[in-house]
A and B are shown apart, each in its own frame.
Chain A
Amino acid sequence: MIDPLTFAGMLIAAALTLMTYSMLLGDQPVAQTAENILVGATTGYEAWLAIEFIQRAGWAPVATGKTYFVISLILGFMMFFRLHRSTAWLYKYPTAVVLGAGFGVAMRAAIFSQFLDQIRGTILPLTTPDAMTNINNLLMIILTVTATVYFIFSHEFKGPLTGIPRLGRYTLLAAFGAAFGSTIQFRYELVVGRGLFLLRPEIVSYSVFFLILILAALAIGYKTKKITWY
């Protein structure tokens, strides 16, 4: 037996799912209602998690002896000086710390995972016993190199050399096509997932009811020109 609160939640979830899909028709009050609920809920969610995070990662260390964490709280508080124009410039200090720490971590990580590891993965053997593997490896090397060369900014290739960046461009386009085509499957599965939720035996009759209600409301709205049809 499902408890009433959970059941109510599932009904609301079903209604909101259908209301959100109505967004596909264009901007209208039904979709706006769902939008405003989501804006309130996610902003509140993020804000509350932020409060808890400040408590856990900023205040708790101070309380347990790592007193220098008080700096993070002070820096964080300096953000609020933006509320008044004459003190707004104080926000630059905490922002500088965020940027500095972020770029430091990003740069030191990128050189390994996005640069050296990629190079290492492209140095491939061309003399394996399997001929097919050799051809594939050779293709992999050529295509990776041309795709890298495509991005060169400060040199324009001339004459027969234009073929290099052009092949790189084709490689990139093929990669885009592959990503496009294969992503579709996953995105379709998401719709199927929502469909399965709406069709769960305990709520399916309500789903149908909500669907009819929403369609009726929209039909009336469009008919009476209260909602514009683009």
Chain B
Amino acid sequence: MSENVYKNQLPFAVLFIVGVFVILTYFFQVPPEISAMAGDLTTFGAVIASFGILLGTLALVRYHVVLMYRKKKNWQFSILTMIVLAATLLTGLIGSSRGKDFLWIYNYLNIPINATLYSTTAFFITSAAYRTFKLRTFDSAIMMTVAVLMILSWMTLGNLAFPATIEIGDWILKIPNSAGFRGMTIGVALGLLGIGTRAILGRYREVLTA
């Protein structure tokens, strides 16, 4: 067997077989054991991804160790990262993911920063709107007008000033908004089918770096 076969061709064969198997077992009447196998393959995927996470974590640790070892700029922060990382893993090891200490880290370190980070989107949306929503072209005028109408429709002061905004807002959400996103959803589904077909047939070589 030449090197190219098991390095580049066989993986695509595996991709093809797994993909076609999962699709066919869904549409055709097959014994329950076989359709269960298709479900198990998805679980396999998740298990493999979990190994991938461990591998990635190792790479991140290596990156920070290199930073600390070479005393690169701001290397002190890497110590902090590594301490928190080690503490999280250690509390998990001691009491599992339902343990008190593990949850303490999750509740008081992960959640507050994460929720705050999520909420900063409010600020960035506002500044993005200020920076880009200009009456430059007809296109941007449409987008901006609809956005302003939507803002007025959820704003209590907007409702008082223009009582019609509530109904206009509902109508925009119900008709043009759903129509636009529906057209887009149909397109996305077809794009997904297209790229999936190509990947399964081995015509999308980038996915396995071949």
Contact = CB atoms under 8 A, between A and B. Distances in A.
A pairs with B: yes
Interface string B6-23: 011011101111111111
A143 B180 contact: yes
Greatest chain A CB density within 10 A among B47, B77, B92, B185 is at: B47
Nearest to B179: A143
Contact of B139 (A108, A173, A194): A173
B84 interface: yes
Interface in A106-130: 106-108, 110-111, 114-115, 118-119, 121-122
A216 interface: no
Contact of A24 (B109, B118, B120): B120
B147 A105 contact: no
A40 B80 contact: yes
Contacts of A94: 48, 51
A-side binding surface: helix, strand, loop or mixed? Answer: helix
Given A76-B51, A171-B179, A184-B125, A110 B45 contact: no
Given A13-B108, A114-B192, A101 B45 contact: yes
A178 B146 contact: yes
B199 A103 contact: yes
B29 interface: no
A144 to B, nearest CB: 4
A32 B78 CA distance: 10
A69 B40 contact: yes
Contacts of B188: 110, 114
Contact of A96 (B11, B80, B96, B175): B11
Interface in B22-64: 22-23, 26-27, 38, 40-55, 57-58, 60
A110 B121 contact: no
Interface string A119-154: 101100000000000001001100111111111000
Contacts of B18: 96-97, 99-101, 104
Contacts of A180: 125, 129, 143, 147, 150
Given A98-B45, A170-B142, A174-B177, A50 B54 contact: yes
Interface of B: 7-8, 10-12, 14-23, 26-27, 38, 40-55, 57-58, 60, 74, 77-78, 80-89, 92-93, 96-97, 102, 104-123, 125-126, 129, 139, 142-151, 153-154, 169, 171-190, 192-193, 196-197, 199-200, 207-209
